[in-house]
Amino acid sequence: MTLPTTPSDPDLLRQMMDGDEDAFTQLYQRRQAGVYRFALQMSGSQTLAEDVTQEVFIVLMRDARRYDPDRGSLSAYLYGIARNHVLRKLEQDRPYVPFIDRTADAEEITPQAMIAEGDPLSELTRGEKIQELRDLILSMPARYREVVVLCDLHEMSYVEAAAVINCAVGTVRSRLHRARALLLDKLRAARDRNEDAQEVNPARCFA
């Protein structure tokens, strides 16, 4: 008895290059979420993430022969293309004031999502903390941001992240160390600000 086997990425890529639409669809569905999330977490912009995802797969469609399996996985290759596009677009948009679109998130709230499970206050606090962390990551320099996104949010190994960034493994390790230290500093600073704001001066109350 033979077990049904899932085709590997290189197999699907070969079939795709032969014009197999199903192979392309399968490959897209397998890899689009990671690419989209990476672009979104790197930029904070849904529009940019959509553009980048589209461009990544168009590049794959047109220049599939440029992928070299000896240099890394197809996933790393796609992340690498996405990274280049994101950095290029962020560089282009640098003169503009960064704008985080909250309305897009608000539109996606479903009735189910509005029902808080457990303690609503702790859910709110948890949500605020996640948002705070997201904003802090976005405020970091791109070279630190990308290692946090790849290694911590996408759970890539140092070797995989190095293949995406096209640098040495040691560089990824040291950058991640520095990035996490930066994040902790910013979190501590934010926490201190919140505690200062919550302090009450009793002298003013009796005045």
Partner 1 sequence: MKCDGFEAVINDLARSGIMDAVLRDEALSHSASCRRCAVRLADERELTAGLKALAVASAPEAPARIEASLLAAFRQQHGALPVSVESRRGANRWLYVAAGIAAVVAIVWLVSLTISRTPVSTQQQKPEQANANAAVPDQHPQQNLKPAESTIPTEMIPAEQKRSVRNPATIGAVSGRVKRPAGGKREADPALDSNVEAEITTDFFPLINRGTGQLDSGQIVRVELPRSALMAFGLPMNMDRADERIKADVVVGNDGLARAIRFVR
Asked if 11 interacts with partner 1 (CB under 8 A), we say: no
Asked if 66 interacts with partner 1 (CB under 8 A), we say: no
CB 23, CB 12: distance < 8 Å: yes
Minimum Å distance from CB 200 to partner 1? 27
Short-list 79, 65, 67, 71, CA closest to 31 = 79
Rounded CA separation 124/147 (Å) = 28
Residue 165: HSE in the Cβ half-sphere, 13 Å Cα cutoff:
26
Cα-Cα-Cα-Cα torsion 39, 150, 148, 102, nearest 10 degrees, comes to 30
Query: What residues between 151 and 180 interact with partner 1 by CB under 8 A?
Result: 151-155, 157, 173, 176-177, 180
Name which of 186 and 204 has its Cβ closer to partner 1. Answer: 186
Asked if 198 interacts with partner 1 (CB under 8 A), we say: no
Query: What residues between 119 and 148 interact with partner 1 by CB under 8 A?
Result: 126-127, 129-130, 133-134, 137, 148
- Which tokens in the block code for residue 4? 């049904």
Asked if 61 interacts with partner 1 (CB under 8 A), we say: yes
Name which of 70 and 107 has its Cβ closer to partner 1. Answer: 107
Rounded CA separation 15/24 (Å) = 8
The one segment of 54-62, 91-99, 117-125, 192-200 that binds partner 1 by CB under 8 A: 54-62
Short-list 164, 137, 8, CA closest to 71 = 164
Which of 7, 15, 54, 167 lies at the binding interface for partner 1 (CB under 8 A)?
54
Asked if 19 interacts with partner 1 (CB under 8 A), we say: yes
Asked if 68 interacts with partner 1 (CB under 8 A), we say: no
Short-list 56, 57, 50, 44, CA closest to 93 = 44
The one segment of 53-61, 91-99, 160-168, 198-206 that binds partner 1 by CB under 8 A: 53-61
Which of 53, 78, 79, 140 lies at the binding interface for partner 1 (CB under 8 A)?
53
